[in-house]
Amino acid sequence: MTTLRFLNGLTTIGGNIVEFAQGDSRVIMDFGVASDFEDETVEQAMADHDLPHLPELFLPDQPSKYQHQAIFISHLHIDHMGALQYLQNHDIPIYLSNDAKKLYDVLITTGQETPVTNLHGLADDETVTIGSLNVTAMLSDHDTVGPMAFLIDDGHHQFLHSGDVRLNGPHQDRVVRWSDRVTKKLLVYLTEATTYSFTTEQPQVIATSQSEPTYREQDLVPLLQQYITKTDDVLIINPYERNVERLINFNQAALNAGRPIVWEANFANTIRAFAPDAEIYQLVDEKNDSTNDYQWHWQDLVTELKKHPRHFILHNSWSQHQRLDQFSHGTYLHANGEPLGDYDANFAKLQTQLKQAQIKFIPMGASGHATKQEIFDLAKKVSARYTVAWHSFKPEILADQLITTNTEAWLPELDLYYEFD
């Protein structure tokens, strides 16, 4: 008998955690957090469902009934892996794609993530055996590097965890491939339903905007090239660090246009890890007497941009937003960097700061999530016996639509054990 237990993420965007168990074997899919609970104890966070109720993993010296267990991470967004930093059981292996592991290692080395032990990389279509359970990892498409979907086989049935997914991105073929391989043995399909939370087809930076454009990942480099060409004043860009492919593409497009991006150190290190031969311009903390054209001290760069604003593009993350006060005009390209949107209190602070500096704010991001129709079509194609919609504020909307298909919608409850013979 196999049991499923949903530990978080049923009616939130993020915090997704589900447990599959059979006898003395257990696999946990994703390990994220959906809210900030820095002032809580681990015990209180578990009680409040900010952390899953897994005392054997979060508290020291707690026994576990499972002889074979592992955690699988679909991708490196905080809402899917942020709880890993609280693990007290350091013996449990953690599996993620090879590229996601490389990024995790960079984030740990640069101090942006808490060190986590027992990380293991997975190749596309690689199967790992955890006791009586087999897990096959399949590369997917999302707005971070190395996303994966997971197929769990208990010897009698199969369960599919989509992770976060989009079908209009540069790696659509990966999604088509993993959705094609599912057999009639598929019992449960767990699908993200993010866009069902909104009236628009993707989450907006400004929720009430009536004119915010919808872009695909493939649209962003041509857009950047347009702004490089037509913007004569200071050009600033704020992308999301974990979307590594976008960083590499932006960096190369700016170089090709003769207006390189000068990156903050953490972003420069991330690009180097995945594109070691790339030319990278970087901000440095100390002035360097050498003639290294690729390194710029902040004040030197400010002086240069005020004299010759078309020489460079300035990268500016939220952690360094106070630096924008040194400019009195410019254009700010917001490419899914933090603060991501107006639901974040810091977003209002950013808007005020830009307005005072007469810097024009331009939304220039692309969602990592499939549209409502694409999510529905994918669930219909997979056609599992049961389909669970989660990673959404309104999973019931997709559940209602699935009545017209051959799959039965299932809206499970938190922390219950569901048994499958």
Determine the pLDDT at residue 287.
66
Q: Are 2 and 157 in contact (CB under 8 A)?
A: yes
Rounded Cα distance between 103 and 198, Å, is: 30
Determine the pLDDT at residue 321.
95
Give the containing element (helix H, strand E) for 300. Answer: helix 298-307
Rounded Cα distance between 12 and 14, Å, is: 6
Determine the pLDDT at residue 61.
85
Q: What is the dihedral of CA 171, 174, 179, 181, to 10 degrees?
A: 160
Q: What strands lie across the sheet with 186-192, from one edge to the other? A: 126-130, 133-139, 148-153, 158-161, 186-192, 386-390, 408-410
Q: Could you please report the per-residue DSSP string of 173-209?
A: HHHHHHHHS--TTEEEEEEE-GGGGSSSSS--SSTT-
Tokens matching residue 8: 């978080």
Closest CA to 281 of 264, 298, 266: 264
Determine the pLDDT at residue 76.
96
Determine the pLDDT at residue 37.
76
Rounded Cα distance between 397 and 288, Å, is: 58
For the structural domain made of 2-199+369-420, what CATH number should be given?
3.60.15.10
- Tell me the pairing of strands 148-153 and 133-139: antiparallel
Task: Tally the residues of the chain.
Answer: 421
Beta bridge partners, 119, equal: 94
Instruction: Please name the residues in contact with 400: beta carbons below 8 A apart, sequence gap of 6 or more.
Output: 409
DSSP state of 85: G
Which part of the chain is CATH 3.40.50.10710?
217-363
Q: Are 188 and 162 in contact (CB under 8 A)?
A: no
Q: What is the Rg, in whole angstroms, of the alpha carbon atoms belonging to the chain?
A: 22
Q: Which residue has the tokens 């019992």?
A: 187
C-beta atoms surrounding 214 within 10 Å = 14
Domain 217-363 has CATH 3.40.50.10710: yes
Handedness of CA 263, 266, 267, 268 (dihedral sign): positive
Could you give the 3-state DSSP secondary structure of residue 325? Answer: helix
Which part of the chain is CATH 3.60.15.10?
2-199+369-420
Cα distances (Å, whole numbers) of residue 108 to 14, 115, 191, 317: 22, 6, 30, 19
The whole-number mean pLDDT for each consecutive block of 10 residues of the chain, a chain of 421 residues, reads 95 93 97 82 88 92 92 96 92 97 95 93 98 98 97 95 95 96 88 93 82 92 97 96 97 97 96 96 76 83 95 96 94 95 90 95 94 96 96 96 96 95 82
Tokens matching residue 118: 């027992």
Strands (E), 140-297: 148-153, 158-161, 186-192, 235-239, 261-263, 281-284, 295-297
